[in-house]
């Protein structure tokens, strides 16, 4: 199985054409569209909200240099209406992830479906040994889930990420049960690895001294318990402010104690 990053290096740049769209590599001239996509509240509803200016600038500089990122151009008027991409899935080695975002003015006409379908079809043909392809979308994003399901993609996993429930889809039809079982097995293995990494990240001297029995905490320790939601394996805390350099205690989703001695959990 060829890693997505290596596969892309050998076949990029490339253009894809559909009945209504041209997908071409992003250029510096697409900076305005990148900014609009990253700052529009409707586009960013399920993507963590509008991006800060420094993040926008970083993406504007990075996208033209990144293999696997296309500008979605509507052929009828030549207007760039979104971005789409494929690349290595950071959650699972060997997996490729496809993503897309369109300007609200281009919603509702099936252009997103057309773009994602073209990318998945191209990847499957161009990189037959490229491993499985997935698309990840927030469970609450009904529009995106309908798009993926309309392409015949099937839900294979759910995970908690960035403080929200996410759904993992993969193309159906050509993927038999053995493929789906392989995906679940790989995801399970990665989950175990991440749990170990999370435990290691929390292994401060203070954390190692914490008792598993919550009732055994001292009154001072109990008073510092964090009521916030903690993200994947305890590495993110929902409190953006208000932390002190003192001991910060909470529970990770895997049930282990979190013990930070920093201002922010990261």
**Chain center to CA of 79:** 27
Of 21, 27, 16, residue with least CA distance to 126: 16
* pLDDT above 50: residue 175: no
For residue range 3-39, list pLDDT tens digits in order.
777 888 889 999 999 999 999 999 999 999 999 999 9
Q: Which residue has the higher pLDDT, 132 or 60?
A: 60
Q: What share of the chain is helix, strand, coil (3-state, %, to 5)?
A: 40, 25, 40
Task: Enumerate residues 6+ apart whose C-beta is below 8 A from 173.
Answer: 152
User: What's the average model confidence in pLDDT over 228-241?
Assistant: 56
Q: Which residue has the higher pLDDT, 246 or 134?
A: 134
**According to the model, what pLDDT value does residue 1 have?**
60
**According to the model, what pLDDT value does residue 92 have?**
76
Q: What is the CA radius of gyration of the chain?
A: 21
Give φ, ψ of 123 to 5 degrees: -60, -45
* pLDDT above 90: residue 68: yes
* pLDDT above 50: residue 174: no
Neighbour-count burial of 91, counting CB atoms closer than 10 A to its CB (0-12 exposed, 13-18 middle, 19+ buried): buried
Q: Are 115 and 23 in contact (CB under 8 A)?
A: yes
**According to the model, what pLDDT value does residue 228 have?**
63
User: What's the average model confidence in pLDDT over 158-176?
Assistant: 78
Q: Does domain 4-175 have CATH number 3.20.190.10?
A: no
Q: Are 134 and 184 in contact (CB under 8 A)?
A: no
For residue range 93-111, list pLDDT tens digits in order.
778 999 999 999 999 999 9
Q: Are 119 and 111 in contact (CB under 8 A)?
A: no
* pLDDT above 60: residue 176: no
Q: Where are the domains of the chain?
A: 4-175, 205-260
Q: Are 38 and 56 in contact (CB under 8 A)?
A: yes
């Amino acid at each position: 199985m060829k890693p997505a990053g290596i596969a892309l290096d050998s076949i990029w740049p490339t253009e894809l054409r559909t009945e209504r769209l041209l997908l071409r590599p992003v250029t510096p001239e697409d900076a305005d569209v990148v900014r609009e996509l990253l700052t529009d509240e409707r586009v960013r509803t399920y993507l963590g909200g509008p991006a800060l200016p420094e993040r926008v600038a970083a993406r504007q500089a990075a996208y033209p240099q990144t293999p696997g990122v296309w500008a979605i151009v509507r052929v009828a008027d030549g207007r760039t209406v979104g971005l789409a991409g494929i690349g290595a899935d950071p959650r699972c080695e060997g997996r490729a992830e496809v993503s897309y975002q369109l300007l609200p003015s281009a919603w509702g006409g099936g252009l997103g479906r057309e773009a994602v379908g073209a990318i998945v079809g191209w990847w499957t043909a161009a990189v037959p040994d490229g491993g499985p392809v997935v698309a990840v979308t927030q469970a609450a994003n009904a529009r995106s889930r309908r798009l993926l399901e309309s392409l015949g993609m099937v839900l294979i996993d759910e995970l908690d990420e960035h403080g929200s429930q996410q759904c993992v889809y993969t193309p159906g039809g050509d993927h038999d049960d053995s493929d789906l079982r392989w995906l679940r097995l790989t995801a399970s293995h990665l989950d175990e690895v991440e749990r170990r990494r999370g435990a290691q990240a929390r292994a401060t001297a203070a954390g190692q001294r914490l008792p598993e029995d919550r009732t055994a905490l001292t009154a001072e320790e109990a008073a510092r318990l964090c009521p916030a939601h903690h993200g994947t394996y305890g590495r993110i805390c929902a409190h953006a402010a208000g932390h002190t350099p003192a001991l910060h205690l909470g529970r990770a989703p895997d049930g282990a104690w979190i013990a930070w001695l920093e201002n922010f959990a990261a």
